[in-house]
Chain A
């Protein structure tokens, strides 16, 4: 059963836990006058401090709904909320676990993966958006001209084939088809790729999700990222999330004109 759908309020069941991989999103309801307050909170695997085990069955002790760990949102008389995948608000810098050299004048197609966030909306308004792992940050570029990004790690899958296998169907990841082109006259060490999620859609079937194809051009003047059209989608794929920026902005080439230390020619 897919998690990305409209859910009714957990009024008679206490706190509802949505599990995505090793992370959990807790959702609870608190009454406020004639309306309701939706409270949400993420639980990451590393935050085991609030976890207590009773015998063999693990139990989770949650803080009271008045605790600041909960994000609270007044939803009035709305009967439910919607969970949907979203990109992080910051650009994502995907650090490749195994960096590689791209020879001059070559083009390489493949896939990288980045972690999505869980977006909770009620009555079309965003209640909260939580990353599915404890979020860390990194700098893409140099300390004088770089971009502060969300840190992510991934393998580079050098394949032109569409992603359909269940191996890549983790509900917390979105696959990005990428095309890397080295137009310079020297080999480039590719170790980090920066993705602007605000420009991208999420297409998918069940838990297989992917974005549009991205083109990274490494030239002597720097790295340039742009959208490279639509890669083949899994059969029956639908649009789950649309880009946050307008169509015109979306197709404007986002140039960084900077060298990553590790991708320096």
Chain B
């Protein structure tokens, strides 16, 4: 048999299923137009780019998490990982669109315009995000520190890309945007191992100040939580309207400051009471002038007659 003739003869048999397929889905139908070999290859490439991208980014994030947990604090590490995640997802998106033969230049152009619009709309978020980097780099506080921002103080609960969350001492969660933190005065109360308790006391003018200071020093020396070194300090603040102002500072371990505060105030009050040393409070002393008859400073003789003797 002639081989060519065989091919010619067998050709209709091979094409038969395809013909049936195109009979069911004609090439001019919507499915026929969409589902071509090129489309199938494209879908496979997109799926491959997506899967490989996710695997690659997942691997990088895992390695990064391990590295940051060893070498950085939780707050910096978390931020680095989050940035890497955002970059990774952008990489997957671009790679997938490239695999889908989407014209990226046009898309990026459109994205640029959209970015400007979104940028204006999301400038606060962007500002918070960038502020987060400065907060991290300055290392002013870390998770677990007690900080004070304006009138708000509390334990740093978490440090996120956009905000810092504080747990206040009455157990409320407060979110402070990073931008606010950058602009505000932030006090880190627990940064150093020791902290001074500042006590302002006002004594009456008839108080023996030297004795009062000795008593205060003795109170501090007998307070178990008060540190021997640095020693307590005192300073006469000046003569005020109501008494003599005295500043007394006692050092405590930072984690014992609260107890130390209560112990010191109670002990000072008890001891000063026992020693007979008085606290001053706003008073006004009036010294009446002695009234001499006929000096003109008292009531007139007519009025004096009317007044009861």
Contact = CB atoms under 8 A, between A and B. Distances in A.
Interface of A: 93, 95, 134-139, 143-148, 151, 192
Contact of B227 (A135, A139, A145): A139
Given A147-B193, A148-B193, A135 B228 contact: no
A148 B194 contact: yes
A146 B253 CA distance: 10
B262 interface: no
Interface of B is mostly: loop
B236 to A, nearest CB: 23
B224 interface: yes
Nearest to A90: B253
Given A146-B193, A147-B193, A148-B194, A138 B227 contact: yes
A139 B226 CA distance: 10
B193 A143 contact: yes
Interface string B212-226: 000000000000111
A143 to B, nearest CB: 5
A256 to B, nearest CB: 12
B229 interface: yes
A144 B193 CA distance: 7
Given A143-B230, A148-B253, A135 B194 contact: no
- Chain B, interface size: which category? 10 to 19
Contacts of B224: 134-137
B192 A139 contact: no
Interface in B59-90: none
A145 B224 CA distance: 22
A126 to B, nearest CB: 21
Contact of B194 (A95, A134, A143, A151): A143
11 contacts: A95-B229, A136-B224, A137-B225, A137-B227, A138-B227, A138-B228, A138-B229, A139-B230, A145-B192, A147-B193, A192-B229
Contacts of A151: 228-229
Contacts of B229: 93, 95, 138-139, 151, 192
B251 interface: yes
Contact of B228 (A134, A137, A146): A137
B122 to A, nearest CB: 40
Interface of B: 192-194, 224-230, 251, 253
A134 B193 CA distance: 22
A64 B273 CA distance: 30
A146 B195 CA distance: 12
Contacts of B226: 136-137
A165 B170 CA distance: 58
A148 B226 CA distance: 11
Contacts of B225: 137
Contacts of A147: 193
Given A95-B228, A143-B194, A151-B229, 8 more contacts: A137-B228, A138-B228, A138-B229, A144-B192, A145-B193, A146-B193, A146-B194, A148-B194
A149 to B, nearest CB: 9
B17 to A, nearest CB: 75
Contacts of A93: 229
Contacts of B230: 139, 143
Nearest to A152: B228
Contacts of B194: 139, 143, 146, 148
6 smallest beta-carbon distances between A and B, as pairs: A138-B228, A148-B253, A138-B229, A151-B228, A144-B192, A143-B194
Contacts of A134: 224
A137 B228 CA distance: 6
Nearest to B196: A143
Contacts of A139: 193-194, 227, 229-230, 251
Contacts of A143: 192-194, 230, 251
A92 to B, nearest CB: 13
A147 B238 CA distance: 35
B119 to A, nearest CB: 42
B227 A148 contact: yes
B193 A137 contact: no
Contact of A136 (B192, B193, B228, B251): B228
A134 B228 CA distance: 13
Nearest to B231: A138
B202 to A, nearest CB: 27
